[in-house]
Each structure stands twice: as structure tokens, then as C-alpha cells.
Amino acid sequence: MIRAAVFISGRGSNLAKIIQQCQAGTLRECCRLVGVVSNRPEAGGVEIAKNAGLPVIVFPAEKEQTREKYDKALLKKISEWKPEIIILAGFDRILSKVMVKAFPNKILNIHPADPKLFRGLNGYKWAFENRLESTRVTVHLVDEGVDTGPVLATAVVSLTGAASLEEVEARGLAVEHRLYPKAVRQFVLQLMAGRNH
Ligand code: GRF
């Protein structure tokens, strides 16, 4: 079992899928969720986590707080969970080197686009405004850049005929929800295999 903490900022639909898969799906025997962090008290994902009985830390950043200071304080808060990996699921803060160095190659993120083409927030808006025929949802490891770490898994989302941003997002999220638990599973199985050597 690999102990995982999930970081969120919003709706939490990916969190919900990962919880589902940990409870009764493909992650059941390899991934244990030890807690959820939200930097936003109003995030829908907070309720999802609480309803699933998971420990939740709501930890908004202070004004003027540096990313390093925030991450240092957050590391302290989550230390009792003893997470081995961090799963970012819509966490809208850029991680500092403090967090990245504490979990080297152990932080996963899902990005709604091909990071070679688009990095940062609002990837579906970008796809919609550019009238893309498809976009590529990407799961990657987090390094010190923004959406620059090694790619673990990708899936193409057809956007043909998608007439609104909502439609683009709905199609993208449906693909994310299948891809992310699968990619997490592959990743933790590899970690577990490495541990046994
Ligand atoms: C997803 O589109 C994900 O790709 C991006 O943030 C969004 C999070 O959505 N990083 P949700 O909170 O999981 O519903």
C-alpha cells in the first residue's frame, strides 16, 4: 500500500473518482488515502473528502506569504499523515522547491492539455477558444516548473462538435476521471515493486 495525500482547490471531481477507486476499485489494494488538503475553505472537494471520512486540512495562504513559507508550513501539517506520494487534483497553487524536494518524483498532477502546447490554468478555455478538434489530457510528475515534469500518461479528448466551454470541459473531465486513477495505479504499483527490490 502506498500512502497518498490529495491536494485540491475546487470542485473535487477527480478527488471523488480517486476515492471511489480506492474504496472499491482498481486502487483498493495499492493506494491508501491518508488525507486531503484544500487551500480554499469553500472548495466542493472538502465536503466530498469529509463525506468519505477522510482527514481534511483546510489551509489558505496568508497574504504576502511566500510559496516556500506556505509549503514549509503545509509539510509540517501533513507530516503526521506520513504520505509517500502527493496527488494534485485541481490544486491551484504552484509548488515551491520546498515541497518538490520533500517529495522528489512523488507528486502527480493532472493537466487538461498537452503541456508542450499549453501550461497553467484554464486549459479547457484555451482549447475552446482555439477551436481545437481535440486536446490531450496529461498526467505528469511535478518538478520545480509549471507543468514541466515527466509525463506518465495521456489521453486524447475529441472536441469535434463541442459547442460550448461547458461541453469541452465535460468531455475533458470524463476522460480525466478514467485516466487519473489508472495512472495513479500504474505509478504506485511501480513504487511498490521498487520497494521490494
Ligand atoms: C481538472 O480539469 C484538472 O485537469 C485541473 O483542474 C481541474 C480540477 O477539477 N488540474 P476537479 O476539481 O477535479 O473537478
Mean pLDDT, the chain, integer? 96
Supply 7's cell numbers: 491536494
CB within 8 A of 33, min separation 6: which ones?
Answer: 4, 5, 6, 18, 19, 22, 52, 54
Which residue, by CA, sits nearest to atom 12 of ligand 1? 12
21, 19, 25: which is closest to 52 by C-alpha? 19
3-class DSSP assignment, residue 159: coil
Question: Does the pLDDT at position 170 exceed 70?
Answer: yes
Note the pTM of the prediction, 2 decimals: 0.96
For ligand 1, atom 6, which residue shows the shortest CA distance?
A: 90
Looking at residue 145, its pLDDT comes to 81
Structure confidence at residue 197 (pLDDT):
67
Q: Per-residue confidence at 167, pLDDT binned at 50, 70, 90?
A: very high
Q: Given the CA of residue 11, which atom of ligand 1 is nearest to it?
A: 12
Q: Return the CA Rg of the chain.
A: 16
- What is the structure's pLDDT at 160? 96
Sign for the CA dihedral angle at 60, 62, 67, 72 comes to negative
> Which residues are known to be catalytic?
111
Instruction: Give me ligand 1 centre to Cα 12, in Å.
Output: 7
Q: How many CA atoms lie within 13 A of 80 on its CB side?
A: 5
Q: Which atom of ligand 1 is nearest to the CA of 137?
A: 4
